[in-house]
Chain A
Amino acid sequence: MERLLALWVESLSVERPDGSTLRTTQTLLDALNLLCPFTEAVRFGLFVLPIRAPSRFYGGDDAVLEVVRRCVHDVAGTNVRLGVAEGLFSAELAAQHEVVLPVGASDAFRRAQPLEVLGRRDLTTTCQRLGIRSVGAFADLDTARVGERFDLDVLTRQRVARGELAELEGQRDPRLARRLAQWRGEDDDFDEQLGFFGQRGAGDLRADAAALRIRQRLGAEAVVVASLRGGRTPDERGVLVPWGAPAPARQELAPWPGQMGAPSPATTLAHPVEVQLRDAQGAPVVLGVRGLLSAAPATLAFSSTLRREITWFAGPWPLVERWWSLHRRRAQLQLVLASGEAFLLSCEERQWWLAGIYD
């Protein structure tokens, strides 16, 4: 989890109707970004920035704290509470306590907090009766038992308590970034986004109407929406569900070992295509027990007649999951063909599949 410096500026935490809060927030954000890039306004009053690089630049955490404190004082004319910890949830708590946690200490710090910090009063009172008062004690409860008593939201909070998720739902105000953009005048369709009809803006309603019309024309599954979730391969990470269906689980922030980094293929085949890989001698290229290829692949064959010359390949990258099961030995391979096309292949059950196209 990323080590973050959190800034709590009390005087900016409640928005004033005259627009001054938004203005000062923007000014402060600009100033902070000059000192430490990637500073963001999480919600009114709360800013965070990744501290690793600034710390190296300014010569230590304390130097960064000093620079930031002075900046807030000069720009906003107020005091600031600063704290450093891993993950947004712990970082905000650290700021409230005004502590700097060394690398690796965030876990213990979070676990020592009272249960109130998870923000569910019913959870706090119920657990109190059971003698569970700290975040750590709650984290250790069996998930199944918690699920019997509470709703999904509490299970998500338990994952935060365990450190599997970096931030609590509601910690972040997703509208703030957009409103700041509007305030800067970068956003054109101000009226479209204010939300004439309650929560959803006119733009959202227009999109809904269009989606509905296409559904009537082409069938219930014709319009789909996408979201991201945790996973290792591009097809695991991207989720497409029919428009109007219940939204899938939110994006997970937990790190996934073995995840392929960017760039990802612009086409991810929902139904991978069977392909054959052959070496220069025409023998099939297979993935060995140790995750190595039997030979360098030279041709990619879609069928007995459609073959393409491979000019470059990278990998295989093993996908280590359920490693105890030999049948789940999977790996990914990137190829560039003589034509310039680039593909992502996956290997499963000794068979190669075309999984993605970098088109």
Chain B
Amino acid sequence: MFAFSPSRPSLPQDLVATLRPVALAKSRTLPLGEPWNALVPGGGLRRGSSLVVEAPAGFGGLSVGLSLLSEASTRGHWSAVVGVDDPGVVAMAELGIDLRRVLFVPRPRDAWAEAAADLLDGVDVVLVRAPGRAAPNVARRLSDRVRERSAVLIALSEPRTRWPLAPDLLFSVTQAEWRVSSRLDARYLTVHVSGRGEAARGERHVVVVPNRRGRAEAS
């Protein structure tokens, strides 16, 4: 079995699960990095909200999802990635994600929703890729949990396996184009950002994910 670090203090597990930071007014949002901070209302990830990134295979959905959590990770927040079989760890680091505070559950089998729900208790941002189309009641339970725990959920989906609920923010990638030189340089994505409240009208943006340094930026 695994060697646990001896310095880890042992608190009752159910007590730890209830520990939560005091919610100060300014901590109701998590920081969001370039280019997204300029594209969403409030410029941050509102705690308790669910986001959906919808992209056809190969259109950079995973990169977009990861870039949405990178700034929060840089600033010391824990995050988790559920259902991404083979995460590109180097690409994550290039996006600015602090790998020391990311938990991965790569192959949750059919327990992806339970795993995500457990993680919502423990981390601030959970990125989840469901193996197929998520059932509406499962999605509902998850977004209730997100609200209750004041966390943020980022669900990755494809147009053919659309997320069954209307999210607070929807990032829909409609076009992807690589710029190349003697190698892959940067990918220009056309992203339609829509959602509830201020984001309701929806806007189309072109962003670069990843750029030459593997980061996300405005075009």
Contacts and interface: CB of A to CB of B under 8 A. Distances in A.
Interface stretch (A43-51, A129-137, A153-161, A332-340): A332-340
Residue among B58, B123, B213 with most chain A CB within 10 A: B58
A237 to B, nearest CB: 5
Residue among A181, A197, A264, A359 with most chain B CB within 10 A: A359
B1 A214 contact: no
Contacts of B80: 210
B111 A314 contact: no
Contact of B13 (A203, A209, A266, A357): A209
Given A206-B121, A207-B103, A268 B88 contact: yes
A181 B88 contact: no
B102 A187 contact: no
A269 B106 CA distance: 12
A224 B99 CA distance: 11
B137 interface: no
Interface in A327-359: 334, 336-337, 339-342, 356-359
A38 B183 CA distance: 27
Contacts of A265: 88, 91
A264 B9 contact: no
A266 B180 CA distance: 17
A245 interface: yes
A212 B58 contact: no
A202 B19 contact: yes
A314 B182 contact: yes
B89 A239 contact: yes
A151 to B, nearest CB: 17
A326 interface: no
Interface in A197-239: 197-200, 202-214, 217-218, 220, 222-228, 234, 237-239
A238 B17 CA distance: 30
B16 A205 contact: yes
Nearest to A340: B176
A209 B87 contact: no
Interface stretch (B70-78, B162-170, B196-204): B70-78
A223 B106 CA distance: 8
A306 interface: no
Contacts, number: 236
Contacts of B4: 244
Interface string B99-112: 11111111111010
B63 A266 contact: yes
Contacts of A183: none
A240 interface: yes
Nearest to B58: A341
A202 B123 contact: no
B94 A228 contact: no
A334 B182 CA distance: 10
A319 to B, nearest CB: 15
B19 A217 contact: no
A76 B114 CA distance: 53
A189 B27 contact: yes
A258 interface: no
B195 interface: no
A265 B91 CA distance: 6
Interface of A: 178, 181, 186-189, 191-193, 197-200, 202-214, 217-218, 220, 222-228, 234, 237-240, 242-246, 261-270, 312, 314-315, 334, 336-337, 339-342, 356-359
Given A203-B77, A206-B17, 18 more contacts: A203-B124, A209-B121, A210-B118, A218-B109, A234-B88, A239-B89, A263-B94, A264-B91, A264-B214, A265-B91, A266-B88, A312-B180, A314-B184, A336-B178, A340-B59, A340-B177, A342-B178, A359-B62
